[in-house]
A and B are shown apart, each in its own frame.
Chain A
Amino acid sequence: MIGRVIRYGTAALFTVAALFPLAWMAVAGFKAKTEVVATPFQFFPEMWRWENYALLLGDAAFLRSLAVTFTGAVLFAMLSLAVNALGAYAFARLDFALKRTLWFVVITTMFVPGIAIMLTSFVVVTQLGMLDSLAVLVIPGAASGLQVFFLRQYYLGLPVALEEAAQLDGAGPWRVFLHIFVPLSKGAFVVVGVTSFLAFWNAYIWPVLTITDPELFQVQQYLATFRSDRSSEMGLLMAGSTLAALPVIVLFLCFQRHIIAGIRISGLK
């Protein structure tokens, strides 16, 4: 009995701690600009105002930014998967020259602070003529040391016997990868895919640097238009953030079983 109380009490605590700030954000979206920061603290608005949400949902620029960001995020997730899974497979199963050195390089890229290479990456994409295109958002960040690390750990855990039979039949590494590894990686792929999607969705500085065409504005870029030095449209910002978070939450709800299963089978050990 006491055990049960403690268990459910703790569960309730976790739920409140995790969700309260979000609920607050969503409710604040119904408040007038000045009400958001009103003291003393009030959770619910004096009057439920739909204006903020209505304004955003009626704004073609906002909807377009959602659509463009969504498209970019899907492309980004798929490209990351392809690139990082291939690399992870190579590091897990193949032998090649300089393997240790290259692995060290890949792992090291996990720790490069973004600000160190922000300017020089921008120079690269400028020289490649990539500015103001979806490509500049999708391609540069697709390769990720962290994801290669994660996927390689997973592949190391798969028994070698799996591919030996195929290799006896003369299958090369590509066939082994496509026909044996990919089908087994569903869960791990979902994890990597969702992580990439999220990273893309919440990116702000890189899009601001590289995208000037309003047609290609990303959702965080759009939300930044409610923040300025001398005034902030708090209610709108909160409503916008809520609407921006919704697609990702829905995505997570759809994939949650796979994500959790994916993390499970990738067993980092």
Chain B
Amino acid sequence: MLAPLLALLGVFVVWPLVHAAYISFYTWSFYESPVFVGLGNYLDVLTDHEFVGAVLRGLAFSAMVVPAQVAVAFVFAVLVKSLSRRMAAFMKVTIYIPAVISEVIAAIVFSLIYTHRGGLLNWFLALLGKQEDTAWLGESGTALAAVAVPAVWLGVGVASLIMLAGLLDIPETYYECASLDGAGPWTKMFRITLPLMKNIILFLLVTGFAASLQFLVLPLVMTQGGPVDSTTLPNLFIFRHFTNDLYIGYSIAAALLLFAVLGAVSAVIFRLVRSEKAMDG
């Protein structure tokens, strides 16, 4: 029963990964005979402050996107639970719809919203009384956050529905008992809801983290990684090297290092929330 899964993963993921790891030890262009350089490519990557910068930026980006996504999803779930059945059904569809949009289109639409002069966001803020237009994508202080917004927008639908499902699974009797004991809404939230949602939040954190660290198209289309590299996320950094380098060892080594970072941080998240069931076989 495992055979199809293992065969497909083996042929199309594990073998290419091993092959890629092999290539990463060489200076390789497919045309000249490859030169073995051992860990040379890895050393190059690790001593490249731009790579380290990109990874740290990626983590910062995740720190913006993932909590925002989880928080929005949580608020959404609590809200929908309190709505009438028909409203709830409508809201559930609404929140999910952005998830069907491709990243390219999301990037284009949001770039237009962020337009400096005459863009929608600045127009709206001016209505609220803001004096100066802000170049959201043009200033290194705001660009990363501006790219994070469509990332949240794209991912929040699935997260919300998963969150809602978890919330609805908590038996109503728990809350009734708590009410009898005189617990207020906040107590219920912190004593019942959040503890029981722990695993769901864990799942969302891990998958959200893995997804957010791999965004490529959003910064590529919206800012090309600028200004001054402030939105050069790890995958964009690797992609740039991949497209511009004459040899591919460096970009593959960098991608494998990113893989290591992703795996390690995810393992830490698993451990922190300590969900034995998730990791054990």
Contact = CB atoms under 8 A, between A and B. Distances in A.
Interface stretch (A8-16, A45-53, A57-65, A208-216): A8-16
A142 B219 CA distance: 28
**Residue of B104, B248, B251, B280 with highest tally of chain A CB at under 10 A:** B104
Contact of A121 (B12, B110, B262): B12
B259 interface: yes
A123 B103 CA distance: 26
Given A39-B119, A143-B13, A100 B19 contact: no
B100 A252 contact: yes
Contacts of B198: 269
B235 A10 contact: no
A7 B158 CA distance: 21
A264 B102 contact: no
B1 interface: yes
**Residue of A114, A120, A223, A259 with highest tally of chain B CB at under 10 A:** A120
Interface string A227-269: 1000000100110010011001100110010011001101111
Given A22-B101, A111-B263, A120-B20, A106 B5 contact: yes
Interface in B1-21: 1-2, 4-6, 8-9, 11-17, 19-20
Contacts of A237: 105, 108
Interface of A: 7, 10-11, 14-15, 17-19, 21-22, 24-25, 36-41, 82-84, 86-87, 89-91, 94, 96, 99-100, 102-117, 119-121, 123-125, 139-143, 145-146, 148-149, 153, 156, 173-174, 177, 195, 198, 201-202, 204, 220, 223, 227, 234, 237-238, 241, 244-245, 248-249, 252-253, 256, 259-260, 263-264, 266-269
B94 A112 contact: no
Contacts of B101: 21-22, 25, 202, 241, 245
B192 interface: no
A57 B110 CA distance: 26
A44 to B, nearest CB: 13
6 contacts: A10-B79, A40-B123, A106-B9, A109-B14, A202-B102, A241-B105
